[in-house]
Amino acid sequence: MDWTNKNILVTGGTGSFGKKFVEVMMKEYHPARLIIYSRDELKQHEMRMSGFNQPNLRYFIGDVRDLPRLKRAFNGVDIVVHAAALKQVPACEYNPMEAIKTNILGSSNVVDAALDAGVKKVLALSTDKAVNPVNLYGATKLAAEKLLVQSNAYAGGTNTRYSCVRYGNVVGSRGSVVPLFIKQRESGMVTLTDDRMTRFWISLDQGVRFVIRCIEEMRGGEVFVPKIPSMSMVDLAKVIAPDAEIKIIGIRPGEKLHEVLISEDESRTTVELEDMYVVQPGGALWFGHYWSDVGKPLPDGYHYASDNNTQWLSVEEIKAMVTPIEEELERGLQ
């Protein structure tokens, strides 16, 4: 795919993912135009001042809740990466309607604006918390996934296609436990909700490159899931704060012991490739089933969870992922 003639827009473009996506795009793919769409003028200013000031970059102030503004921003756009979301679990629990407005209604607006503007491809970011959700954030992301996938039914007579990517915790992203553990170790104690807890882990760079690949390969209607390693949260705490006491404080409302990326029910329509899974739309008559000829079906009863994973990060691998984040945080404090 030739990116040099493409106009791209990323919602939530000043977030952790958005900034890394823009960085990789500008260094390696050189799109004709890249629009950063977000609602925070200060973050846009700081991003521009930090070196994101190339002539093919555009900064649009706007909220995904604002459909007319999205339509204006999507004018002439070929590809939309939908990364805007409210994602802090406690904040979503305390402000449920705000999470619904941004994560669900905002995604619906992205769908409508893309269809009206003739955008060719829309890829939305999802999370393992959307599978068998136990908190409102997960529930809103599940609804957003369903919205994006099923909206291909509206787009059947057009060139617009919608797909999703779904992956686990991003190391060092905003709200990640890594900066929290780094801060807590100064006191000699880190808090862990349960010592049995496991999580899927992926770096920002890996997440961005997976998204780029899925944009290139998507047909519409798929949910792409990368094969990524699991990590014990106890191991993570010990790597970051080896001399600190680990205090178990009890699992929080809306938190799981283990996360799931593919449920047992979804596995019936999922195919496995060498380095990812593709969840195909179930029972739909339109596109999205190309992958059955490319991958292999999953066995009955299969589910992909952080505790039954075949890939696990060793202590050395965890340290290699965490060290750059520690160095970046130290530079920010100097």
Active centre residues (catalytic): 129
Nearest to 279 by CA among 230, 221, 229, 216: 221
Relative to beta strand 121-127, strand 245-248 is: unpaired
- What is the rounded CA–CA span in Å between residue 9 and residue 122? 10
Q: What angle do CA 169, 81, 292 make, to 5 degrees?
A: 80
Contact (Cβ atoms closer than 8 angstroms) between residue 35 and residue 58: yes
The backbone torsions φ and ψ at residue 325, rounded to the nearest 5 degrees and listed phi first, read -70, -40
What sign results for the dihedral spanned by CA atoms 198, 319, 17, 278? Answer: negative
- 268: buried, middle or exposed (CB in 10 Å: 19+, 13-18, 0-12)? middle
The backbone torsions φ and ψ at residue 44, rounded to the nearest 5 degrees and listed phi first, read -65, -45
Relative to beta strand 270-272, strand 296-297 is: antiparallel
DSSP, collapsed to helix, strand or coil, labels residue 248 as strand
- What is the rounded CA–CA span in Å between residue 326 and residue 334? 13
Helix and strand tally (H, E) in the chain?
11, 17
